Amino acid sequence: MNSILIIVFAPLVAALIAGLGGRVMGAFVAKLVTTGGLFLACALSWPIFLQYLGGGVEPGVVHVLDWVRSGDMAFDWELRVDTLTAIMLVVITTVSALVHLYSWGYMEEDPDQSRFFAYLSLFTFAMLMLVTANNLVQMFFGWEGVGLASYLLIGFWFRKPSANAAAIKAFVVNRVGDLGFMLGIFGTFLVFGTTSIPEILAAAPALQGASEIGFLGLRVDTLTVLCILLFIGAMGKSAQLGLHTWLPDAMEGPTPVSALIHAATMVTAGVFMVCRLSPMFEAAPAALAFVTVIGAATCFFAATIGMTQWDIKRVIAYSTCSQLGYMFFAAGVGAYGAAMFHLFTHAFFKALLFLGAGSVIHAMHHEQDMRYYGGLRKEIPLTFWAMLFGTLAITGVGVVALHVGFAGFHSKDAILEAAWASEGAYSNLAFWLGTVAALMTSFYSWRLMFLTFWGKPRWAQSEHIQHAVHHGHDEPKDHNPPRQEDAGHDVHHAVPDPSHHEGTGGYHPHESPVTMLIPLAVLSLGAIAAGFVFSHAFLDEAAFWNGAIAYNEHLMHEMHLVPGLVKYAATIVMVLGLLGAIYAYLIKPSVPRETAEQLGPIYTFVYRKWMFDELYNAVFVKPAFWLGRLFWKKGDEGTIDRFGPNGVAWVVARGSNLARSVQSGYLTSYALVMLLGLVAAVTWVLF
């Protein structure tokens, strides 16, 4: 159990060494220390997970230090290890270690490598603090820590204005969710009198429906309010509908950041929190219904946008939003085991897809627009196979009769079956929206593959690549302009016709270095095998969870009894999505343009991400700037400065000018002043 101390604090020590001593030691030593620390943590995490996988291991708590004693509030810094923690330890340390190794090749030309690796390790430490928390305050510490680290990593290229804007946007949007999370923690302490998670969960069932509070003019169940407030924090961190706008923009950070933070770890913090507090949520059915609706809506909404984007990283980013929606509505219908199972499998195939996309971008000299790819499977075959395995996993390819398939086949099917079998509110809505989203997931995933790896090369049409050919390879990674954000004429621009744009323009893609390919190979194994190897433990063994979540054994049993059509639903829509992508992008490439033109404003609306950014800009950003300028110009400069320091300075200056005019140097002038003073003094005495 003491190994948990090394797992948690090794990344922190490595981050401090690389961050504070990177300039002295050099980039190589900084990379070696941080990567070594993460591989050590990973090596110690897997035995813990395998112990819990075998069953019979009781949860444990390691005391680090006494923390706060203030009146009725008392809590210590403790590391909790149970099944839920063991799962997250494996996910976090495995993906982080592989991302560190991948970054050796991807960030090789960057002059600030030491700082980058320090940020990566700092993020990992904060995430580990979050998942090992034994009280809500410690969880909040890790929660804010990953927010800080994500800000630093998204804005790593701080000389790039779009990266700075994306980092600020992520920080501000997450603060909105964190306000709800803080209010939920405050309210939980007021109701339960403690921040200890085990004590709260033990007392929660007895409070179901026992008390009500006023909320927005209504009398609402206390636990419902608390759970909704806590879930608002999860909405921000896990990019759910309404607080999702930061995630696609976060693609401005380096691609390894996208894989680590926005695919496998940070964005799953909200799912982990809901599952950790699942006994509390089970005592608040209305809150679970809210979680179900938000998760299902996000699942559908993000999938629609993913079908229209051209930037390879943004397609995968919206895919992340959609897959997180699956996890949340699984938790909402009571299938917490299925939610964590999808979190587990998603970590492997989504990190694989992001790192594979980074390998493609590396090969194409940082071009991210898929319209300028084509025919890459022969040029970068290893990256192609890795991306293919990731696509097979996310689309859920498998054999239903044998119950064998890629990772997503097992976890996504389990979620849809749980939604159908559940008696929870809105579970049927979640099933149908999830099924339609699975169809769209298959379509946009294969669309990405066909545009990137099939067809004839369209590289000659990329101004970015041609600039590289003529001027050398000296630009920072991911520095191409985001063409998918261009307005007007570009919206309906479909794939360039290969028959008119053959050739490479003198540029030939190249396979990535071995430090980038090894992580792709390891993650490919996870995308292939993580589903059928671990599905039984996650879904069918209450002993595996051993009280770590609110395990609904009845629901898990009912999942196996759903109608055959429900069992085959995900596979059917997966095949339909694949066939649609084959027809639209291989057989008849004119279909995308024609469809976009026929749909007109509907296509534009979806392409513009349902106009959320424009709406928030009009409702929140512009009024905030207007109010800020009002206080700045009228309040600060026009009132405070004018009548305060500037006004005093003006009076002193005018008084000085007047006094200076009297100092003429003539004796007659001084005599006149003295006489006037004498007259004034006599007048004051007499009257």
What are the pLDDT digits (tens) for 203-221? 999 888 777 776 667 778 8
Give residue 466's pLDDT. 62
How far apart (Å, rounded) are the C-alpha atoms in residues 81 and 60? 5
Mean pLDDT of 472-501: 42
Residue 462: predicted pLDDT: 65
CA distance 202 to 280: 9
Please, which pLDDT band fits residue 492 given cuts at 50, 70 and 90? very low
Instruction: Report the pLDDT averaged over residues 484-500.
Output: 42
Q: What is the DSSP letter of 369?
A: B
Q: How many CB atoms lie within 10 A of CB 227?
A: 28
Q: Is 220 left (phi over 0), alpha (psi -120 to 50) or beta?
A: beta
DSSP class of residue 376 equals T
Tokens matching residue 221: 């169940």
What kind and span of H or E run contains 9? Answer: helix 3-25
Phi, psi angles (nearest 5°) of residue 457? -60, 140
Per-residue pLDDT reduced to its tens digit, 24-36: 888 899 999 999 9
Tokens of residue 292, six digits: 């179900």
89: which 2 tokens?
């330890």
Retrieve residue 219's tokens: 């009398």
Tokens 């379509």 belong to: 443
| DSSP conformation class of 58 | P
Helix and strand totals (H; E) in the chain:
30, 6
How many angstroms separate the CA atoms of 176 and 233, rounded? 8
685: phi then psi, degrees, rounded to nearest 5: -70, -45
Q: What is the CA radius of gyration of the chain?
A: 30
Give the pLDDT confidence score for residue 465 in this predicted structure: 63
Tens digit of each residue's pLDDT (9 = 90 or more) over 618-666: 999 899 989 988 888 888 878 888 888 888 888 888 888 877 776 777 7
- The C-alpha angle with vertex 293 and arms to 291 and 296, in degrees rounded to 5, equals 105
**Residue 46 pLDDT more than 60?**
yes
- In this prediction the pTM is 0.89
Q: List, for residues 434-483, the tens digit of each pLDDT value.
A: 999 999 999 999 999 999 999 888 876 666 666 665 555 434 444 443 44
**Residue 503 predicted with pLDDT over 70:** no
What is the rounded distance in angstroms from the CA atom of residue 451 to the CA atom of residue 582? Answer: 10
What is the spatial distance between Cα 596 and Cα 364, in angstroms, rounded to a whole number? 27
420 residue type, one letter: W
Phi, psi of 221 (to 5 degrees): -55, 135
- Rounded to whole angstroms, the Cα distance separating 530 from 344 reads 8
Give the whole-angstrom CA distance, residue 180 versus residue 197.
Answer: 18
Name the helix (H) or strand (E) containing 220.
Answer: strand 218-221
- Any idea which of 67-71, 601-605, 619-623 has the lowest mean pLDDT? 67-71
**What pLDDT, on the 0 to 100 scale, is given for residue 584?**
92
One-letter amino acid for residue 238 of the chain: S
Place of tokens 């030491």: 114
